[in-house]
């Protein structure tokens, strides 16, 4: 049965469903309007405002918040700060539940080029009893474009704001959030957590790397680590199509992906429209040459040049590198990074907004540059240039987590194996780099675990058929506070009729395998094996 996943949202991934908060008497709490500005080292507070919001509703917004969240009673704190010499204005928003505080602080992150999502991530957290915070890092807040902040008036990269986006503002936000929470509730949070995906996942990892005392536990989903290199690598499919002067119809890309899934689906003994272990799957696009695909009533032939383009896209920009960090897995959708559009009857390339903007504003410093003109030789130059100029600022891939480990921190990283935007092999590679830096595997298991999720796309947004982790934050809380080490993450997929499929996502390097009998749709009939 082919499943259609629910459209999990970024905000729901930031604060998944937990047990309901325990009511707090609030006898020692400070009046919201009596709160004082926090002391954040290295900053000057420009403005500070605190007000109560009663029976407050945050309305659903596509891709940010799936459902309305109503009945919130919170103390809403807005801080605007600046860093000396940076000429920035950074907004930090903190929400404090007026009832039922669970004693914890939760940092929430962003998506794309946005450092934070404000009420769309704070509402689910506050509804579950968390004191929580979000920041815009002094940026425009538009997750789709850095146009308003990337370059200064003289055309130079605004390094101060890039540093804010990379790491500094999450730390400032966390310092402020903890201080305000302690001031309001009369006691400091007994534990502090981070939960984010994509940019939010990268922010979580960089917190562990640079500010190891900020959080007791971190969930980092599909982390955008190695930013300066992987974002340029996202341009690769457009480069291939440009060099071959062949722009593939998205319908053909989807047909190829489904053919690959069909060819390798049964390797794990279960037909569920998911490739459990993509590295075992070998399926060539050349097998489809000579076939035809019905694309909205129009028959399109699968030609050899189309097969060549798909082959070169999947091979990645550096196929001789055995780790092949920047190659997509078979089973991952190809239509985002290989997107095209039709203008005046001619199909042309249409790059994904993250790599397109990064190249135009930061690497080339030319907002008007047409990235669809980039060929092989220029791609390699830009790839190296991006790392040389920005690797130290926003690489976020330092494997030395000894400080976080010594603080007693716990870290859960999860990544969909059908992610079409952030390459899963980069997460695997970082796992092994952390392991090598520790020089002891058992030590790593005590604080850092990776979970690779078959058939799941970027942050589990519902475009593929795999079961999405339901609540990794609860697993993290149990690990930190009860020393219950997570060997699996519970995962769920469902369709419009209400049919559900459950899976247990095993900690890397183990994988889930059907025991050979019982309901194939139930996680109870799967075990973790090497």
State how far the Cα of 338 lies from the Cα of 240, in Å rounded to an integer.
Answer: 9
Give me 335's structure tokens.
């239509």
> Does residue 311 carry a catalytic annotation?
no
Local confidence band at 344 (pLDDT 50, 70, 90 cut-offs): very high
Q: Does 17 score more than 70 pLDDT?
A: no
> Does residue 198 carry a catalytic annotation?
yes
What letters, b where the CB count within 10 A reaches 16 and e where it falls short, cover 147-157? eebbbeeeeeb
| Residue ranges of the chain that CATH labels 3.40.50 | 192-226+396-530
> Does residue 419 carry a catalytic annotation?
yes
Residue 187 CA to its chain's centroid (Å) = 32
The percentage of residues in the chain with a pLDDT greater than 90, rounded to a whole number, is 86
- Residue range 400-429: average pLDDT? 97
Mean pLDDT of the chain: 92
State how far the Cα of 18 lies from the Cα of 118, in Å rounded to an integer.
Answer: 20
How many C-beta neighbours within 10 Å does residue 182 have?
16
State how far the Cα of 265 lies from the Cα of 523, in Å rounded to an integer.
Answer: 17
Minimum mean pLDDT range among 80-94, 181-195, 236-250, 267-281? 267-281
What sign does the dihedral 124-125-129-133 (CA atoms) show? negative
- Residue range 223-249: average pLDDT? 98
Most confident of 66-75, 271-280, 362-371: 362-371
Q: What is the largest CA-CA distance in the chain?
A: 75
Backbone φ and ψ of 297, nearest 5°? 85, -5
State how far the Cα of 381 lies from the Cα of 364, in Å rounded to an integer.
Answer: 11
Of the candidates 195, 305, 292, the residue with the CA atom closest to the CA atom of residue 245: 305
Q: What is the pLDDT of residues 160-201, one digit of tens each?
A: 999 999 999 999 999 999 999 999 999 999 999 999 999 999
Q: Does 58 score more than 70 pLDDT?
A: yes
- 335, 419, 457, 471: the catalytic one is 419
Give me 293's structure tokens.
């695909």
DSSP state of 135: E
- Residue range 319-330: average pLDDT? 88
Q: Which helix (H) or strand (E) element contains residue 163?
A: helix 159-163
Q: What is the pLDDT of residues 75-90, one digit of tens each?
A: 999 999 999 999 999 9
340-343 and 346-349 beta bridge pairing: antiparallel
Q: Does 11 score more than 90 pLDDT?
A: no
Beta carbons of 525 and 517 less than 8 angstroms apart = yes
Beta carbons of 146 and 115 less than 8 angstroms apart = no
Q: Does 442 score more than 90 pLDDT?
A: no
Contacts of 271 (CB under 8 A, 6+ apart): 265
Q: What is the pLDDT of residues 392-408, one digit of tens each?
A: 999 999 999 999 999 99
Local confidence band at 27 (pLDDT 50, 70, 90 cut-offs): low
pLDDT confidence of residue 496: 65
Contacts of 46 (CB under 8 A, 6+ apart): 80, 81, 82, 89
pLDDT confidence of residue 14: 39
pLDDT confidence of residue 5: 34
C-alpha distances in Å from residue 522, one per residue of 181, 270, 427: 41, 12, 28
State how far the Cα of 189 lies from the Cα of 480, in Å rounded to an integer.
Answer: 14
- 132, 145, 169, 198: the catalytic one is 198
Q: Which helix (H) or strand (E) element contains residue 404?
A: helix 402-406
Of the candidates 333, 282, 356, the residue with the CA atom closest to the CA atom of residue 466: 333
Q: Which CATH number applies to 192-226+396-530?
A: 3.40.50
Local confidence band at 10 (pLDDT 50, 70, 90 cut-offs): very low
Q: Does 220 score more than 50 pLDDT?
A: yes
Of the candidates 256, 252, 249, the residue with the CA atom closest to the CA atom of residue 342: 249
How many C-beta neighbours within 10 Å does residue 74 have?
23
The SS3 call for residue 498 is coil
Of the candidates 454, 225, 233, 234, the residue with the CA atom closest to the CA atom of residue 329: 454
Q: Does 145 score more than 90 pLDDT?
A: yes
State how far the Cα of 487 lies from the Cα of 294, in Å rounded to an integer.
Answer: 44
- 145, 458, 471, 475: the catalytic one is 458
pTM confidence score: 0.93
Q: What is the pLDDT of residues 450-502, one digit of tens each?
A: 999 999 999 998 767 899 999 999 999 999 999 999 999 999 998 767 778 99
Q: Which residue has the higher pLDDT, 500 or 130?
A: 130
Local confidence band at 24 (pLDDT 50, 70, 90 cut-offs): very low
Backbone φ and ψ of 430, nearest 5°? -65, -40
Local confidence band at 18 (pLDDT 50, 70, 90 cut-offs): very low
Beta carbons of 315 and 297 less than 8 angstroms apart = no
DSSP state of 114: B
């Amino acid at each position: 049965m082919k499943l259609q996943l629910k459209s999990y949202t970024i905000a729901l991934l930031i604060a998944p469903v937990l047990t309901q908060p325990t009511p707090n008497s609030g006898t020692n709490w400070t009046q919201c309007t009596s709160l004082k500005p926090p002391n954040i080292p290295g900053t000057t507070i420009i403005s500070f405002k605190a007000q109560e919001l009663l029976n407050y509703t945050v309305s659903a917004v596509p891709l940010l918040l799936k459902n309305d969240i109503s009945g919130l009673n919170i103390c809403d704190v807005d801080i605007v700060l600046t860093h000396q010499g940076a000429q920035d204005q950074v907004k930090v928003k903190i929400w404090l539940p007026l009832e039922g505080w669970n004693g914890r602080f939760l940092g929430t992150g962003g998506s794309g080029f946005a450092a934070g999502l404000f009420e769309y991530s704070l509402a689910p957290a506050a509804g579950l009893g968390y004191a929580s915070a979000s920041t815009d890092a002094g940026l425009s807040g538009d997750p789709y474009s850095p146009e308003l902040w990337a370059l200064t008036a003289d055309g130079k990269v605004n390094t101060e704001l890039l540093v804010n986006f990379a790491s500094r503002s999450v730390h400032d936000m966390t310092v402020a959030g903890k201080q305000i929470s302690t001031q309001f509730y009369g006691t400091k949070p007994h534990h502090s957590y981070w939960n984010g995906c994509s940019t939010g996942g990268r922010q979580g990892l960089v917190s562990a790397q640079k500010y190891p005392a900020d959080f007791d536990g971190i969930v980092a989903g599909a982390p955008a680590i190695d930013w300066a290199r992987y974002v340029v690598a996202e341009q690769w499919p457009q480069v291939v199509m440009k060099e071959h002067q062949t722009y593939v119809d998205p319908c053909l890309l989807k047909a190829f992906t489904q053919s690959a899934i069909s060819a390798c689906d049964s390797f794990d003994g279960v037909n569920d429209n998911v490739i459990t272990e993509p590295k075992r799957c070998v399926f060539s696009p050349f097998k489809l040459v000579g076939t035809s695909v019905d694309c909205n009533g129009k028959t399109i032939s699968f030609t050899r040049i189309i097969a060549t383009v798909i082959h070169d896209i999947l091979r990645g920009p550096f196929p001789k590198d055995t780790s092949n960090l920047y190659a997509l897995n078979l089973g991952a959708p190809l239509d985002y990074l290989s997107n095209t559009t039709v203008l005046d009857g001619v199909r042309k390339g249409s790059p994904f907004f993250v790599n397109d903007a990064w190249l135009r504003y930061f690497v080339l410093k030319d907002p008007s540059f047409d990235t669809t003109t980039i060929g092989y030789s220029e791609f390699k130059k830009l790839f190296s240039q991006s790392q040389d100029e920005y690797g130290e600022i926003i690489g976020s891939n330092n494997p030395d987590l000894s400080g976080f480990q010594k603080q007693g921190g716990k870290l859960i990283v999860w990544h969909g194996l059908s992610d079409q935007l952030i390459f899963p092999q980069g997460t695997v590679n970082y796992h092994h780099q952390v392991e090598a830096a520790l020089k002891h595997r058992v030590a790593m298991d005590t604080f850092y675990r990776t979970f690779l999720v078959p058939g799941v796309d970027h942050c589990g947004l519902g475009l593929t058929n795999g079961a999405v982790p339901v609540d990794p934050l609860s697993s993290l809380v149990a690990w930190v506070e009860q020393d219950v080490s997570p060997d699996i993450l519970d995962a769920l997929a469902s369709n419009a009729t209400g049919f559900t499929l459950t899976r247990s996502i095993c900690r890397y390097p183990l994988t889930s395998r059907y025991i050979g009998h019982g309901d194939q749709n139930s996680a109870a009939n799967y075990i973790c094996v090497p």
